[in-house]
Amino acid sequence: MNTRKSHRYLSTLLFILTLAVSFHVFADELPRAEYPRPQFQRQEWQNLNGTWTYAFDFARTGEQRGFSDSHGFDGKITVPFCPESKLSGVQHTDFINTIWYQREITVPQAWDGRNILLHFGASDYATSIYINGKLVDRHFGGGASFAVDITRFVTSGQSSRLVVRVDDNLRDSHQPAGKQSERFESYGCMYTRTTGIWQTVWMEPVSRQGLKTVFAQPDIDQKQVVIRPEFYSEDGGATLTVEMFDGKKVVAAQSARTYNGCTMVLPVKSPKLWSPESPFLYDLRYTVKDASGKVIDQVSSYIGMRKVHVSGGYFYLNNEPYFQRLVLDQGFYPDGIWTAPSDEALRHDIEMSKAVGFNGARLHQKVFEERYYYWADKLGYLCWGEQASWGMDVNSDLSARNFLSEWVEILMRDRNHPSIVTWTPFNETWGCSDSGTYARMMKDVYDITRAIDPTRPVNDASGDGHVKTDIWTVHDYERDHNRLVENHTFRDGKPHYRNQPDKHFLAEYDGQPYMLDEFGGLPWIPAEHRANSWGYGSNIDTLDDFYSILEKEVDAIKACPNIVGFCYTQITDVEQEKNGIYFYDRRPKFDNARIKAIFEKIPAKIIIDK
């Protein structure tokens, strides 16, 4: 082979390899290789999961030791799994103040001329990004996704050193932590911690005039979809075209000049509605063209035509009163902790929940990844989106500041998913005081949530810490049928039961839908595990006793006409908490058909007596 042919061969080989990475040909070799953002998908991207080097920095001296300019650390870790998990290859479960990550990245030559975005699905908690020793940006928050523009720090076709520092100060009471244990060990309903990167890291090229975000709002009453796009920069000569598909058929289309603040309306004749019983999704395609007509950005998405609202003490889905049979889902995995081992595992969690009679889940004390919502959208599964509010002092101004900024990011990321029907920013704020900070924070959270997303109700604080709320929720783990009925039978138009009856600065009930959004928690624990396990109340000795107690609790809820939704604790065991319908490894504990029949004694369709 002569020199010229050899050069041409090597150039062709390099081009093919670049395309393989860019278009994800080697996806099967990577952990969590699927596209992480299916509701806003571009064709060109590069998954950065896999083997990185790492170093712990318990004394936080890494900056002084030149870690930000590292060419590689001694340890190896598998991203996106946290260092506490088995799947990371590290499994260090003690507190980690700071962890550093390093790997080489190469921006494909084909991406030249576009902005390069580096995405993190999630990293807990304070993340600093360096390229070739230079600080690019910082992000604060343990569950929200974020991206940084690295264009000016990298050169297409050349490799660069990416270093990521993550600081986690779980015990200072100012950052959301959820169910991460503040002790050395797990205990009760507190579990193994998650530190550092725990969702997919990836890159993509985006035109400087490309599409940044979209709020796609279905309006079934007026048979239309309202599109509110935002662009990275405005170009008076560029246009955005939105196409809506039913299969391969275009059912609506609209074009507009690309400027922030524009509103596009797509009429939809005879819309097919989304529900758990019929989760139909329309495909969307967003195309940005420059003044010459050249396509400079294209994004694939989808939308579910559905409406949720509350009125007269009921929750409505598509203008019909609907009873939500929810289950508490902690989103923990034996091998991945907060990170599902595979995309299929996310889908399976929803399928096994539906198999035992639940039509949705309260996603508890964790910001679930977008792939979970994708499967909930596809399979027809109602979700309550929640922040990991535990671990922070709800009477602290700093806590409020940390919470609000991340909550905004969560809302902006997830507000297009039809499966999400309620926002629940807080859980069991039972340490709240009448200092003024708590009430102010709760009002701000409610108002900000409704401003960013006016299409869904807000349950401000699950478990009766209510200040300003669209749904009234309480928790009750009472097992006795008669006492449950007594607790939740209204007297003089007001609910009889409160979790915090002595805190008079909290709101009074004002006719909102009343939901028992934690009950049950019935432990079923093998005898050999009872000494080191935990559940709500005493252990149940026989399967017949378990079925009997569960059925009497559901019958009690059915006997309370003011209860219009429930959430059973919980879908799986988690570590030492053994009150799941399934074991921690997702094996069934019970006769699923029998469990399903019990929960479905309360139908989803509510008949209102007129």
> In the chain, which segments carry CATH 2.60.40.10?
211-303
Q: For the chain of 610 residues, list the mean pLDDT of each consecutive stretch of 10.
A: 43 39 50 97 98 98 98 98 98 97 97 97 98 98 98 96 97 96 96 98 97 98 98 91 97 96 95 98 98 96 98 97 98 98 98 98 98 98 97 97 97 98 97 96 98 98 96 97 96 88 94 97 87 88 95 98 97 96 97 98 88
Tokens (6 digits) for 174: 């100012």
Tokens (6 digits) for 33: 């290789």
Cα–Cα nearest to 80, from 47, 55, 58, 113: 47
DSSP state of 509: P
Tokens (6 digits) for 150: 């690295």
322-599: CATH class:
alpha beta
Question: 363 has which bridge partners?
Answer: 329
Give 29's contacts (C-beta < 8 A, 6+ positions apart): 50
SS3 30: coil
> In the chain, which segments carry CATH 3.20.20.80?
322-599
Cα–Cα nearest to 131, from 149, 112, 150, 158: 150
Residue corresponding to tokens 């701000």 = 444
Q: Measure the CA–CA gap between 392 and 402, rounded to whole angstroms.
A: 9
Residue corresponding to tokens 């198999």 = 355
SS3 462: strand
CA distances to 95, 149, 488, 497 from 556, rounded to whole Å, are 43, 55, 9, 14
Q: What kind of fold does domain 3-206 have according to CATH? A: Jelly Rolls (2.60.120)
Cα–Cα nearest to 424, from 379, 390, 377, 397: 390
Cα–Cα nearest to 178, from 420, 457, 374, 368: 368
pTM across the whole model? 0.93
Cα–Cα nearest to 579, from 477, 471, 428, 463: 477
* End-to-end C-alpha distance for the chain, whole angstroms: 88
Residue 151 has what pLDDT?
Answer: 98
Q: Measure the CA–CA gap between 535 and 515, rounded to whole angstroms.
A: 22
User: Over the range 470-494, which residues count as b (16 or more CB within 10 Å of their CB) and which as e?
Assistant: bbbbbbbbbbebeebbebbbbeeee
Tokens (6 digits) for 516: 């028992």
Q: What confidence tens digit (pLDDT) does each residue in 130-164 have?
A: 999 999 999 999 999 999 999 999 999 999 999 99
Residue 610 has what pLDDT?
Answer: 61
Domain 211-303, architecture per CATH: Sandwich (2.60)
How many helices and strands, by DSSP H and E, does the chain display? 8, 31
Q: Measure the CA–CA gap between 480 and 484, rounded to whole angstroms.
A: 6
* 3-state DSSP helix/strand/coil % of the chain, to nearest 5: 20, 35, 45
Instruction: Find the helix packing angle between 592-599 and 543-558, rounded to 10°.
Output: 20
Do β-strands 360-363 and 382-386 pair in parallel, antiparallel, or remain unpaired? parallel
CB 272 within 8 A of CB 305: yes
Specify the amino acid at residue 321: P
Q: What confidence tens digit (pLDDT) does each residue in 274-292 have?
A: 999 999 999 999 999 999 9
Q: Measure the CA–CA gap between 210 and 40, rounded to whole angstroms.
A: 12
Residue corresponding to tokens 């009750």 = 476
Residue 496, classified by CB atoms within 10 Å of its CB into exposed (0-12), middle (13-18) or buried (19+), is middle
Number of Cβ atoms within 10 Å of the Cβ of 9: 11
66 Cα distance to chain centroid? 35
Tokens (6 digits) for 77: 């870790």
Q: Measure the CA–CA gap between 284 and 214, rounded to whole angstroms.
A: 11
